[in-house]
Chain A
């Protein structure tokens, strides 16, 4: 109740893992941790589905339906008659939304190395 973020689309196949630890390096929420023979899934509920682990896993041991968790983008897409999942974050467009100075310009405005944009 009142927590929509308990579930996500993250799937991990430890039997495929070669223990390169890339997932532990790229996850910004500590979802993965170093294990003895393979990476351990420590806190799956913390996954924000950014897709960094999937893209950097050389053996496809991780799956996730990655995308930007941005309500503005999803609602805008739905209002335009498109699927919610087709909603692209408005960062960088003149229409803009979040990422710009914001967060995710919103976090773009963070002092990330990469760096929070909006």
Chain B
């Protein structure tokens, strides 16, 4: 992210800094400037979001930490807290377009709120520091902060109050519920629940795909050169099944574990390839059967592995459960893939002997 973008926040800030600086009496240091931001998302912002969703320039989607004002806030206006990741920050400011408020942006190293809370960067220490550093107590007369609910794993509300005097109030999970929350200062049970809708899952597929694009391409080229287009297509299909179809179809695939869901999906996608490989009237039946076993062993293993890795993207998997999945299914995946590769090598050796 270039400096220019940093300073302008990559958003439609009506870039004006208040010239007034505030003195934090606790630390006797000059505190940060109060920046101005609007709720309007520009084309540039949307392009930044697009790049973020595709996993490009991963650490470049950053907003400068500090205190921002939106609209014309006064001493009684609400203070919301967010992360310095453009998607998080922009979600808050666009949801609050037309609302007079302050947004306190923590330095989460360009990571979203929930993940940053898990890592501790969206944490008590940073929040307390940022409150003091921003001179917030001199700007507002109240002592309330509205935090994103998903920031709670990193924040100890009672600790924040003890150390800063500011009372932490957890807002809704989704930014879209903020206007309603600001009105009533109450979150319904629905607002407190994290969802994992089709749209939520689908939005994750580009970055999943980007992660595996290069190795998939290399494998596809090698398979194409060694065995032909069908094997290359099988590799690409297995990866697409694990990175795109799996997230999209997640709730409707039987079983609860992600690995078994991946295995099931992999088998379904492997069947047409197995039939194609077996349909060779020239070859003996046993080699056809062996050939058809290869996609049935390798493709589900690969899809299941990609599905297992999706645990990091879900909104519900616990560490205990994921650990169980790893111990239960990774050996199965390795065994399946290893057997498939062995058969492939065996078939290659037979073909080579016939040629000689």
- Of A22, A24, A46, A117, the residue contacting B313 (CB under 8 A) is A117
**Quick one: which of B110, B150, B151, B178 has the most chain A CB within 10 A?**
B150
Q: Does A62 contact B (CB under 8 A)?
A: no
Q: Does A52 contact B (CB under 8 A)?
A: yes
Residues of B within 8 A of A28 (CB): 149-150, 173, 192-194, 315
With A69-B312, A99-B111 known to touch, is A88 a contact of B119 (CB < 8 Å)? Answer: yes
Which DSSP category, helix, strand, loop or mixed, fits chain A's interface?
loop
**Quick one: which of B170, B174, B189, B207 has the most chain A CB within 10 A?**
B207
Residues of B within 8 A of A94 (CB): 58-59
Number of interface residues of B (CB under 8 A): 85
Residue of B nearest to A27 (CB): B192
Q: Does A19 contact B (CB under 8 A)?
A: no
Which DSSP category, helix, strand, loop or mixed, fits chain B's interface?
helix
Q: Judging by beta carbons under 8 Å apart, are B173 and A113 in contact?
A: yes
Q: Does B24 contact A (CB under 8 A)?
A: no
Q: Does A17 contact B (CB under 8 A)?
A: no
Q: Judging by beta carbons under 8 Å apart, are B313 and A104 in contact?
A: yes
Q: Does B118 contact A (CB under 8 A)?
A: yes
Residues of B within 8 A of A50 (CB): 117-118, 152-153
Report, nearest first, the 10 A-B pairs whose CB atoms are least far apart.
A103-B313, A114-B113, A106-B313, A98-B312, A108-B112, A70-B312, A114-B148, A52-B152, A99-B115, A4-B324
Chain B interface (Cβ < 8 Å from any Cβ of A): 52-55, 58-59, 82-83, 85, 87-88, 91-92, 95, 108-119, 121-122, 148-158, 170-178, 187, 189, 192-194, 200, 203-204, 206-208, 211, 255-257, 260, 308-326, 328, 330
CB pairs A–B below 8 angstroms (23 shown):
A4-B256, A5-B316, A27-B192, A28-B192, A70-B322, A72-B309, A90-B312, A99-B312, A101-B207, A102-B55, A105-B112, A105-B313, A108-B85, A109-B87, A113-B92, A113-B173, A113-B175, A114-B83, A114-B173, A115-B91, A116-B204, A117-B112, A118-B207
